[in-house]
Structure 1
């Protein structure tokens, strides 16, 4: 089975401190994963390495069959990875329309600097329609709600046909309804025959959908455990992870968490 991500004994030191240590993590094709951990666990640093913004201090990383530092330029690798992150929103020009931002995804650029082909325009319109964004396609990005912005970012991330789609805490700042609409959109994306591998980063158990087959638990910069999501989100496992007693309840394939 083709490997999407291969991390072997990966460690990262920044400013004299170890941020990540001895990370072993393999993601196979047709698996969708959750990266789960509390704030400060090292999730952001790990994502920066997967996107080739950081390179490991020790160990080896292979993403989409390319070895970091040997096989591929980082910029070319990033074109095969779709990224949806609240931090990305700050880089866009606020006056650009939602349509222009989605179009820019075809070129992996911030801003639109070339005239899109008719094929690219049609693809952008199709994605906006799929994600229920078409009604506000011509509105400036700065006027959109947080939920609308996140759906636009997902459409943008899908423009280049990525093999890996990383969603970095995409529901931050969303109310319950907007969160569920976005999660429904992810379910729809995962069901397509051309769906990329999904990697969803969160510290909220209730956001973990049934489409996410596997979960990696990250704690203090190290892999606490990884495996099938149902096994990782158990009373015993999360009690040990949090070092306090918690109870996990399952309903319709989704978990909720409370402190005992």
Structure 2
């Protein structure tokens, strides 16, 4: 008989048997909330999904990455050239977002009480919007899943930059779509309105967290450098409808790169 599936609450409870981990997670997440960058609250958490789930997600992304054959270079940067590649990335990210919704929120779209207690978030609830919380979960899972094949990314930086640019430009809209499909209420944004809402860069721990980048070693620093070079910022909700404006996908190519 297979073991029961571990939830995020189960994982958090197990990790918090280590007092140092509990303190780090509580303090780091609360600091993000106070700084109004809710979409980064899980940056320092050691795990969000089981190792088996992480293996599956990593394998899935590696397959998606391997199937990217061309990217388009223009004045605006590097872009995916295939609608199929975009669709595969959207479906992969949306599946993680839906898992995050189920793990983090109750039927009314509120943060599950067990999570609030474990993270000591009671006094911060009015500062946390549920969409940014899901963004934080998805971004952290992305990092852990994709970091495993950094060597391949180093060899094909343009593919990686194009994929991340597309994901980071559409992230929040996909998450909102997932929430709407589940009839989950979407809170007003709680993050800073005056600057981009930066989720954890795909693959990269933020370089300002020196204790984490030191633990990651050379590979982690390499990937962080790639992410920064690619300007992988998660863009905040803007405009009257509260959704991201995606960068133009219509090509005005100066060059195209093909991978075999």
Same fold (TM > 0.5): no
Q: Taking CA–CA contacts closer than 8 Å with sequence separation of 6 or more, which of the two structures ends up with the larger relative contact order?
A: 2
State the TM-score, normalized to the length of structure 1. 0.28
State the TM-score, normalized to the length of structure 2. 0.28
Larger % of strand: which?
1
